[in-house]
């Protein structure tokens, strides 16, 4: 039985992107279907332009990823959410604006916004420990996908 995993992240310099990708690879290793989506920046363009590394990473990531769509959440059985500990505003805004679509979905949280995820109606898959490395994120992605598969009814058809 297949499980659909939406990997949704916010990253400025690429470190959180790496963790999100590692968690996504873990989900793939568990035979999950994944979609990768990047949250848009809330910061104004001038501030981003003044930071060369941020500006360069943003240009690259905007080529590699699209923003999440409502249909992505509908498709997903599990969400993997990642944002840097010091920049969770983008994720918190997304969670606050997603409405009822998140209710009851499983979520793996890489960051400090678990309370916001729970307020949005998500059920958090506990990581077991703080996720600080790609290896830990990979294992967390595996665990999240496996949890989603376990929760899915046996007769549920795969939505692709």
Average model confidence (pLDDT) across the chain: 91
What average pLDDT does the segment 127-146 reach? 92
Using the Cα atoms of residue 3, residue 71, residue 131 and residue 116 in order, give the sign of their dihedral.
negative
**106-110 and 33-38: which strand pairing?**
unpaired
> What is the pLDDT confidence band of residue 153, given thresholds at 50, 70 and 90?
low
> What is the pLDDT confidence band of residue 98, given thresholds at 50, 70 and 90?
confident
Kindly report, residue by residue over 16-73, the tens digit of the pLDDT.
999 999 999 999 999 999 999 999 999 999 999 999 999 999 999 999 999 999 999 9
Q: Give 10-41 as a DSSP string.
A: --SSSHHHHHHHHHHHHHHHTT-EEEEEEPPP
- Residue-level pLDDT at 99: 80
- Residue-level pLDDT at 160: 45
- Residue-level pLDDT at 152: 66
Distance CA(1)–CA(49), nearest Å, equals: 45
CA distances 113 to 69, 103, 104, 153, Å, are: 21, 16, 17, 29
Provide the whole-model pTM.
0.90
Q: Tell me the backbone φ, ψ of residue 44, rounded to 5 degrees.
A: -70, 155
Distance CA(27)–CA(30), nearest Å, equals: 5
Using the Cα atoms of residue 95, residue 100, residue 101 and residue 105 in order, give the sign of their dihedral.
positive
Kindly report, residue by residue over 67-93, the tens digit of the pLDDT.
999 999 999 999 999 999 888 899 999
Residues of the chain above pLDDT 90, percent: 79
Q: Is 3.40.50.360 the CATH number for 4-151?
A: yes
> What is the pLDDT confidence band of residue 157, given thresholds at 50, 70 and 90?
very low
């Amino acid at each position: 039985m297949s499980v659909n995993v939406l990997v949704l992240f916010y990253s400025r310099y690429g470190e959180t992107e790496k963790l999100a990708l590692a968690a996504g690879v873990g989900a793939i290793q568990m035979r999950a279907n994944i979609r990768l989506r990047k949250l848009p920046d809330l910061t104004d363009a001038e501030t981003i332009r003044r930071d060369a590394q941020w500006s360069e990473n943003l240009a690259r990531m905007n080529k590699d990823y699209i923003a999440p769509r409502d249909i992505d959440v509908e498709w997903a059985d599990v969400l993997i959410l990642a944002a840097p500990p010091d920049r969770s505003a983008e994720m918190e805004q997304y969670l606050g604006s997603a409405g009822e679509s998140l209710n009851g979905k499983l979520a793996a949280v890489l960051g400090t916004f678990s309370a916001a995820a729970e307020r949005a109606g998500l059920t958090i898959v506990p990581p077991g420990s703080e996720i600080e490395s790609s290896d830990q994120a990979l294992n967390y992605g595996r665990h999240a996908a496996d949890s989603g598969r376990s929760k899915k009814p046996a007769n549920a058809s795969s939505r692709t």
